[in-house]
Amino acid sequence: MADQDPVNEIILRKVVIASFQENCWLIGNRRTGEAICVDPGGQPDEVLAIARDMGVRIKYIANSHAHIDHILGVGAIREATGAKFLLHPGDLEMARNTATIAKGWGIDVANPPEPDAFLADNDEIDVDGLKLTVFHTPGHTRGSVCFYANGIVFAGDTLFQGSIGRTDLPGGDYDEEMASIVERLLVLPDETIVLPGHMDQTTIGHERQRNPYVLMELAKRAGGGE
C-alpha cells in the first residue's frame, strides 16, 4: 500500500522485526511531524532511523499486547524519544514478566518500563493531525487491543490473513477471540485494510469471505450455536 494518504497527510511505514517476523508500524503526520509507534518488538535503532527518515517524532508507543515479540523495543524507543508507553491493563502482569519470559527463548533483556497510561475500549490516542481509536479485543491475550484510523485497522495478533492469533498461551481464550473478531472487527466496512502483527495485509471483506476460522464462527452463530 502507499505510504502516504494525501488527503489526511498520514504517512505509514512498516518495520519487520527479524527475530520474530513481527510487524512494527510507524504512523505519522507529515505536516505536524508527530507519530505513533505500534508494537516495537525490537530493532529500536532501525525504528528510530525510519522515524527520522519519515521526518516524524514518536510521541506515543502503543502496544496491541505484551507478548515479547511485540514489546522488546519499547524501553529503548521510550528512552530515546520520551514517548509515552500505552498498554491495556489486562497485559500489565505479562509486561512485568518480560525478562523472565524472554529468558525462556534464550533472550537476555530487561523488563520494559511501566506504562505511562493504560488503554481502554474506545479510547482515542490523539496526536496533532492523527487519531487512533482503541478496540479492546481480548482472546489472544487478556489485554489485546486493535487500533483503528482512516479505514485501516492495526490488528495486532487478533486477526491475520486467513488465520487468527493463537489462543493456547496464558491469557488466551478462543471463544473470546472469535467474539472480538466478529463483534469488533467484522462490523467495519469490507474495504477496511487490516495491518496485522505478522504476515501480510488483508481486508475485512477478504477475511469475512475467506478466513476459515471466521467462516466457521459465522456459520455457528447463524445456526444458533453461540
- List pLDDT tens digits, range 65-101: 999 999 999 999 999 999 999 999 999 999 999 999 9
Query: For the chain, what is the domain count?
Result: 1
CATH number (domain holding residue 64): 3.60.15.10
The CA distances from residue 136 to 5, 30, 179, in Å, are 26, 28, 11
Residue 148 is part of which domain span? Answer: 4-222
Q: Please state whether the predicted TM-score (pTM) of the whole model is above 0.75.
A: yes
Q: Which three cell numbers stand for residue 31?
A: 505536516
What residues of the chain score a pLDDT lower than 70? 1-8, 225-226
Strand ranges across the sheet with 152-156: 124-127, 130-136, 145-149, 152-156, 193-196, 202-203
